[in-house]
């Protein structure tokens, strides 16, 4: 089982939709490359929704006792909180509301992807601090990633 923040799963699927097929280790030391590989290799892996530090965050150099110490670039999104922890929690809460999820819910990666496909036609309200052009680009990549994930897992409906 993988503990995962909703936005981390969305980020993996979005990267897939941008053409990424192999995730590389990041200088921060987080585990997105390992978690993404597990999810892509096994779409039926069980996920546990986590709103605090998840399995991606655990080894990150910015993780201090389960709290992210990093900041985000607010130059193009001045309404967003500077704290990455605060911003990610805001985004994750919006994803949870949209997808009908809460802390500790369990579902497979395939089930989560299907839920996103069925509920995320327009994500501007989730990323409302981000300029609409950037969100539109993210939306297109997310939709391509959903299709690719479901196609590769044999579940494109």
Domain for residue 157, yes or no? no
Calpha distance 15→76 (Å, rounded): 21
Q: What is the mean pLDDT of residues 46-74?
A: 97
Domain for residue 124, yes or no? yes
**pLDDT given at position 95:** 98
Q: What is the mean pLDDT of residues 77-94?
A: 97
Q: What is the mean pLDDT of residues 47-70?
A: 97
Domain for residue 6, yes or no? yes
Structure-token match 């390992």, residue found = 34
Q: How many domains does the chain have?
A: 1
pLDDT 10s digits, 18-40: 999 899 999 999 999 999 999 99
Domain for residue 39, yes or no? yes
Residue-range definition of the domain harbouring residue 85: 2-152
Calpha distance 52→8 (Å, rounded): 12
Q: What is the mean pLDDT of the chain?
A: 96
**pLDDT given at position 156:** 55
Residue 157 has pLDDT above 70, yes or no: no
Calpha distance 107→75 (Å, rounded): 36
User: What's the predicted TM-score (pTM) here?
Assistant: 0.96
**pLDDT given at position 21:** 86
């Amino acid at each position: 089982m993988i503990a995962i923040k909703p936005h981390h799963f969305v980020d993996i699927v979005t990267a897939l939709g941008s053409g990424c097929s192999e995730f590389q280790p990041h200088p921060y030391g987080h585990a997105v490359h390992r978690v993404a590989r597990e999810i892509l290799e096994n779409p039926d892996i069980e996920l546990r929704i986590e709103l605090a530090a998840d399995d991606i965050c655990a080894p990150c150099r910015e993780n201090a006792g389960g709290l992210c110490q990093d900041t985000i670039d607010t130059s193009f999104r001045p309404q967003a909180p500077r704290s990455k922890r605060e911003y990610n929690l805001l985004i994750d809460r919006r994803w949870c509301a949209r997808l009908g999820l809460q802390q500790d819910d369990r579902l497979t990666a395939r089930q989560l992807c299907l839920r996103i496909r069925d509920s995320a036609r327009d994500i501007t309200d989730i990323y409302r601090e981000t300029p609409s052009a950037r969100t539109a680009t993210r939306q297109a990549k997310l939709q391509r990633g959903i299709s690719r994930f479901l196609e590769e897992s044999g579940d494109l409906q």
